[in-house]
Amino acid sequence: MSCSYPFRPSDIPHPSFVCTLLVFMVLMGCLRPVYSSSVGVNWGTQASHPLPPRVVVQMLKDNNISRVKLFDADDSSLEALRGTSIEVVIAIPNKMLQQMADPATGAADTWVVHKVLRYAFQGGVNLKYVAVGNEPFLTSYNGTFINFTFPALQNIQNALNNANLGDKIKATIPMNADVLWNSALPSQGKFRNDTAEQMHQILDLFHQNNCPFTINIYPFISLADSENFPIDYAFFDSDTVQIHDGANTYTNTFDASYDTLVAALSDAGYPDMPIIVGEIGWPTDGFIAATPENAQRFNQGFLNHVEGGSGTPLRPNTPVEYYLFSLLDEDQKSIDPGNFERHWGIFAYDGKAKYPLSLPGVALNSTNSNTSSLVNATGVQYLPQQWCVVADDADLANLAESVSYACANSDCTEVEYGSSCNGVLDARGNASYAFNQYFQMNSQAPGSCNFNGLASITEEDPSVGDCKYIVQIAISFASTKTELTRMLYIMQIACFSIFLSL
């Protein structure tokens, strides 16, 4: 059966006929409901040599990534995003919550002026949300931020409302999944008792202002924290039912975690509150199960799982708004939770795709490595192609102290137990890896490859198989100068405007 409907421009039918025809076409299968897929990513910058913001923004465009979540409101990042259609989440770090919570200081109003009003104009930055803190109720924080979070949220949302931006830009709070009571079944989901008072206030404000609830969901962490966790339950390609919850069944951790929140919101009296998945992903190193293969399996499975808009058992036929964690590796993140913390990126530190990943809306790119649909960063400048290794005449018995120093002041997570270089290198190779990490972290500065005469520079790549000795990217003074010049120009314009108003 043909689904075409040929007509001449002069023969355009009456609107009622068009509606009838469209309904008929849907019923016949010629048209199907279309869910607009919108890929979101987290862009963190805790790196010793971050990619220039404009390179990152071009990466977002090249990969059809239409939404980005920041962990601060850095002006250089926002300037690079200015003039694009990319939806942006800016954030207030936890360390600023106490300051924002005090209404007497006017800190929230000042922040909104400097970080929101400054960019929220036609042709500016497409600001969507303000994230007030990041997982402030995390149990490991021992209540440090609990009493500051709601007042800070309230002050920020009021400042947005007072600036006539409350209908366009919403405040939210990215919460860790541990804000939920550890229930056996998703339908029994509730919020933790120790946060009940604050959570009631937060949810009421969200409801009044039509703000979303943001939750970070990490099946990988569930796997890493429990030796008995069924590994297939962390992914999306298993048909094995792990949870029977009344008429609902669950074959993957994500759906169960998401629905636990749905149930908790319903229990609190807000069954229809919109939900954002603020962070979800899988690392590629730093743990036995943290491999590129597993990361590809998880992330591609997740994207395929949410692509159709089928939702979850407690919220069927509801598209999931999400932000993959994360865009790039960050070699200065805290490794207190685990060595994997520095390896969450779908791209490596230099913007190269780590594994094939087909993002919604992007055609396969046969020119890219591994036939991945991901498009690598362009215009990346590297330091000279040289590495720091153990000198040929070095006494291996004297390496321990220097290796410890090198690792303490760089990133040696890839040679730790369960990581990609562990067991691949011998003692000399491990020491060379540590020396090179320190050398590159310090931008190959003179004297950074010495270690009391134990190290020397080579132009021969010492990499072994998948264990790569990196060459760091160059930090461009030119780009920094450009951003500084732009900022000075903005300040001059502001001062001139004030002068004219006097």
Active-site position among 79, 87, 135, 197 = 135
Report d(CA 295, CA 235) in Å as an integer: 10
Parallel/antiparallel/unpaired status of strands 87-92 and 248-250? unpaired
**Backbone torsion region of residue 452, taken as left when φ is above 0, otherwise alpha when ψ lies between -120 and 50, otherwise beta:** left
Active-site position among 79, 197, 227, 279 = 279
Q: How far is CA 142 from CA 128, 194, 334, in A?
A: 31, 11, 18
The H or E element spanning position 95 is none
Dihedral in degrees, nearest 10, Cα atoms 289, 225, 136, 60: 10
Number of C-beta neighbours around residue 391 at 10 A: 18
Report d(CA 246, CA 231) in Å as an integer: 24
461: tokens are 């790549």
**For tokens 């960050």, what's the residue?**
330
Neighbour-count burial for 462-473, b at 16+ CB within 10 Å, e otherwise: beeeebebbbbb
Crossing angle of the two packed helices 400-408 and 427-441, in degrees rounded to 10: 40
Is the N-terminal amide bond of 85 cis, ω within 30° of 0?
no
Whether 135 is catalytic is: yes
Whether 87 is catalytic is: no
Report d(CA 43, CA 38) in Å as an integer: 16
Q: How far is CA 426 from CA 7, 375, 422, 454, in A?
A: 74, 35, 9, 16
* Residue whose C-alpha is closest to residue 262's, from 315, 302, 214, 216: 315
So which residues are the catalytic ones?
135, 279
